[in-house]
Structure 1
Amino acid sequence: MNSFNSALGKNITFVRPAYFIISGFSGIPNIKYYYVFLCFVYVVSVLGNTVVMAVIYLDHNLRTPKYVAVFNLAFVDLLGSSALVPKLLDIFLFNHPYISYNDCLTFLFFCFTCLSMQVLNLVALSYDRLIAILHPLHYQVKVTHRFMLSLIAFFWVFAITVDLIAVGLLTRLSFCRSVVINSYFCDHGQIYRLACNDYMPSDVFALILISLILFIPLLFIMLSYVCIGYALSKVATAQERYKAFRTCTAHLSLVAIYFIPILITFTAGSEIPPNARIINLSLASIFPPMLNPIIYVLQTQEIKGSIKKILKVRKESKMKVKIVIIK
C-alpha cells in the first residue's frame, strides 16, 4: 500500500505537442473542386436547417413532441456543420494544417458531440413513430412535450459526458513521435494511435463509444421498424398501411443517409483506399445536415403546409402595405 501511495505521489509528465498537423486531403488530385463542393453543402445546410427551425418556431401547430425532436435535429445539424466545415476549409483550402493541441481536442469534442446527437435524435424520432403507430390512442399520453424534452436533455447530457471522457483519456497520453493526423479533422482514433505510451484505455473506450453511439442506436431503430412493420401487417386495408407508413418515410430516409455510408466504410475496412475512406467519411459527416431539412420539407406535409401558410401571410401583408401606400 505504501509503494502504491508513493507511486501516486510521483509527478507524471505528459508530453503534449504544441500542435498537430491534419493531412487528410493532401495528395488527392483535383481536391480543390471538393472544397468548392463543401462550401455549397455548408451554405445549403445553414439555410435549410435555419428554415426548418424558423418554421417550427413560428407555426404553433408544429409545437408537438415530434417537431421538438425535429427542431433539435436541425439545431444539431446547424451546430455540427458550423463546427466542422469552416474549420475544414480553413485547414485545407487556405493551407493552415497546423492546429494547436488544445484547439484540436476542442474541435474533436464539438464534432463528436454533434455527430452523437444526430444519431440519438434519430432514436428519439424512431421512438416517436413506434408509439404513434403501435399505440395511437395512447400517443398523447406516452409522448408528451415534457417526455420529449426530458429525453433530448438526457441525450445531450449523455453525449457530452461520453465525449468528455474520450477527450479526457487523450490528455493522459504522451506524443513523442509523429504529430500528423491522417484524417480530415481531429479524429479520436487517429490521435490516440500517435501516442508513445499505453493507449489501451482510449482504445477500449473507442469500442464502447462506437457501440453506444452507433450500433446500439441502429439496433434499436431496426427493431422499432420490425415492430412497426408487424403492426402494419395487421392493419385491414392497404390504404391504411400506406398512410401509416408514409409518416415514417422522412425518418427512414434520414436513417439511411446517416448509417449506410458509415456501415459501408466500416464493413469494407482495409479494402477501401485511405483517400477514398477519408472522402467517404467526410461525406458521411457533412451530407446528412444538408439533406435532413430538404427531406423534411419535401416529405412532411405539415412543414410544407406551414411554409406555404407563412409565405401566403407574408404575401398578403405586402399587398396590404402596397394598398395603404397607394391610398
Structure 2
Amino acid sequence: MIPLFFRLESFYIIGFQTLPYISIYIIFLAFVYVVTVLFNCLVIYVIVFNHCLHTPKFMAVGNLAVIDVILSTSIIPNMIKVFFMKDNFVPFNMCFVQMYVYYAFVTLESFSLAILAYDRWIAICFPLRQNSINTLQSMSYIIGLTWCFSLGIIAFAVGIMTQLSFCNSLKVFSYFCDYSSMFRLTCNDYTMQWTVGTSFSFLILVVPFTLICLSYVSILVTVFWMKSLDSRVKALATCTEHIILVAVFYIPLIIIFTISLDLHFIDEDLPVLSLSLASCTPPCVNPMVYSLKTKVIRNRALCKGKRGKKKHSF
C-alpha cells in the first residue's frame, strides 16, 4: 500500500515559551544584529573600495563578512517578529526557505573558517611560495567551490525534508524552522533523522573542523623548526584571531550537542536558547576580533607594503 502524503499549509514557532524575561533576550539579540550588520558591512566596504586590501587573505575575510550578514539576517529579524509582534505563523514554503538559508550559511561559515586556516597554513608553512600558491584567482576558486558545495548539499537535504509527510503537529519547538524540530513533526522513523542528521553534521561541521586542526598541526610543526624565537612568536601571533573565531564558533556547538546527547534537560527550552546564542554570537564577534584590527586596516589602507618595499609578512 502506498503511504499517504500529508502536506501542511503552515507551521507555528513556539520555542522559548517557558523562559522568563525572554523579551530581554530578544532585545539583546536585536542589538547583536545591529552590531553584526554595521561592522560586517563596514568591513565589506573597506575591502571592496580599498585596492590595498585586494589580497587573498582579505578576500577570505570579506567572504566571511558577507556570510555573517546573511546568516544573522536569516534568523534574528524573524525571532523579533515572532516574540515581539506575536506573529509565529510561518507558511509551509517559507519555513523551508528559512531552513535552507540558515543551514546553507552555517555550512559556509564553517568552511570560511577553514579557508582562513588555509591562508595561515600557506603563509607560515610556505612563506617563499605564498604569493605564487595563494593567489586571488586560487582563493576565488576555493571560495566559489565552497559556496557551490554548501548551497548544493543543503538544497539536497531540504529537498528530502519537503518530501516527507507531516502529521504529528503544526507546532515547531524552536526559534525557527530547524531541521531536528521539523523532523519530529513527520510520520517517519527517527532512525532516519539520526542517520541523515549525523551525515550532514559530519559534512558541514566535522570536515571543516578537521581541516582546521590538520592545518594547525602542520603550522605548529613548522613553527617548532624555526630557529628564531621571535619568528615563532610572530608566526603564532598571526593565528591568534583565527583561533578565537574557531573557538567562538565550534566550542558552543560541540558543548550543546554533547550535552543534548548525554543528558536530559529539565527545561527543554534551554538547549534551544543555547543554540540560538551560539548561532547569533559568532557573526557579531567575527568582525571585531578578526577584521576590525585597527592596526592591520590602517597599515593596508596606507599601502605600507608598496611596490619596491614589498616585505614578506605572515
**Normalising by structure 1, what TM-score?**
0.87
1:225-247 deviation line (CA, Å, top 9, x unaligned): 11111111111122111111111
* Corresponding position of 2:268: 274
How many pairs does the alignment contain? 300
Correspondences of 1:288-327 after superposition (within 5 Å): 288-299=282-293, 301-306=295-300
SS of alignment partner, residue 207 of structure 1: helix
Select 1:64's aligned residue among 44, 51, 55: 55
**Partners in 1 of 2:281 and 2:298 — Cα distance?**
22
Task: Give the distance between the partners of 1:256 and 1:170, measured in 2 at CA.
Answer: 31
**Does the alignment pair 1:155 with 2:153?**
no
Take 1:131 and 1:109, find their aligned partners in 2: how far apart are those partners?
33
Deviation string, structure 1 residues 186-234 (Cα, Å, up to 9, x no partner): 1111111211135655542221110011111111111211111111111
Percent identical pairs in the alignment equals 37
| Counterpart code for 2:145 | F
- Find the residue that maps to 2:11 and give its secondary structure: strand
Alignment counterpart, residue 217 of structure 2, candidates 221, 226, 231 = 226
Name the counterpart of 2:37: 46
CA apart distance, 1:13: 4.9
Alignment of 1:195-234 (within 5 A): 195-198=186-189, 201-234=192-225
**Aligned letter for 1:89?**
I
Q: TM-score, normalised by structure 2?
A: 0.90
Whole-angstrom distance in 2 between the partners of 1:155 and 1:118: 10
SS of corresponding position for 2:278: helix
- With over 3 angstroms needed to count, the CA separation of the structure-2 counterparts of 1:133 and 1:105, relative to structure 1, is same
| In 1: Cα distance, 2:294 partner to 2:239 partner | 10
1:21 aligned counterpart, secondary structure? strand
Over aligned residues, Cα RMSD in angstroms?
1.8
C-alpha distance in 1 between matches for 2:128 and 2:180: 46
1-structure distance, mates of 2:56, 2:183:
40
Equivalent pair of 2:74/2:98 in contact (CA under 8 Å): yes
Q: Does the CA contact (< 8 Å) of 2:11 and 2:89 recur in 1?
A: yes
Residue aligned with 1:26, SS? coil
**Offset at 1:305?**
3.5
Question: How far apart, in 2, do the equivalents of 1:173 and 1:164 lie?
Answer: 15
Q: In structure 2, what is the equivalent of residue 30 of structure 1?
A: 21
* Aligned residue number for residue 83 of structure 2: 92
Uncovered stretches (5+) of structure 1, i.e. residues with no partner: 1-6, 311-327
Counterparts of 1:304 and 1:95, CA distance in 2: 45
CA contact (8 A) 2:8 2:92 kept: yes
Does 2:169 match 1:181? no
Question: Partner amino acid for 1:42?
Answer: Y
- 1:3 corresponds to which residue? none
Give the Å deviation of 1:136.
0.6
Where does the alignment leave 5 or more consecutive residues of structure 2 unmatched? 304-314
Partner secondary structure for residue 5 of structure 2:
coil
Return closer, same or farther for 1:168/1:199 CA change in 2, 3 Å cut-off: farther
Q: Which structure has the bigger radius of gyration?
A: 1
